[in-house]
């Protein structure tokens, strides 16, 4: 059964909907790779003399890869437009679930 997007009262309610929006394996891979690259880019910028303007690269890497996954492979609209905080947290939880083997990569 498809989880509905009728509003969520908690992250626990939201996460099954988020996973449903990421059923395509290529989309999940793009999200995971984008998140890893964004975190690595963040570390590089914070540990180097680069301008803080380079922090925007985190958004381009992370969200760019994810949006390609949604628009090209999932054919749906990213939940981050309506639920930005829950979606941001879900990216990390899904990455943890991929690393632990709970979700297929």
Per-residue model confidence as pLDDT tens digits over 85-102: 999 999 999 999 999 999
Residue 1 falls inside a structural domain: no
What is the domain extent for residue 64?
11-100
Residue 105 falls inside a structural domain: no
Q: Which residues of 12-42 are buried (b: 16+ CB within 10 A; e: fewer)?
A: eebbebbbbbbebeebbbbbbbbbebbeebb
Residue 2 falls inside a structural domain: no
In the chain, beta strands by DSSP E? none
The pLDDT value recorded for residue 4 is: 65
Residue 3 falls inside a structural domain: no
Residue 35 falls inside a structural domain: yes
Residue 50 falls inside a structural domain: yes
The pLDDT value recorded for residue 103 is: 94
Is the predicted pLDDT of residue 7 greater than 60, yes or no? yes
Q: Rounded CA gap, 11 and 89, in Å?
A: 9
Span 43-74, pLDDT tens digits: 998 898 878 888 899 999 999 999 999 999 99
Total H helices, total E strands in the chain: 4, 0
Residue 55 falls inside a structural domain: yes
What is the number of domains present in the chain?
Answer: 1
């Amino acid at each position: 059964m498809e989880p509905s997007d009728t509003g969520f009262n908690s992250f626990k309610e939201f996460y099954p909907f988020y996973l449903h929006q990421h059923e395509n394996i290529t989309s999940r891979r793009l999200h995971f790779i984008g998140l890893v690259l964004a975190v690595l880019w963040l570390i590089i910028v914070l540990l180097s003399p680069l301008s803080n303007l380079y922090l925007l690269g985190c958004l381009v890497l992370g969200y760019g890869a994810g949006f390609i996954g949604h628009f090209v492979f999932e054919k749906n609209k990213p939940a981050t437009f309506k639920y930005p905080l829950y979606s941001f947290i879900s990216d990390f939880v899904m990455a943890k679930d991929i690393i632990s083997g709970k979700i297929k990569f």
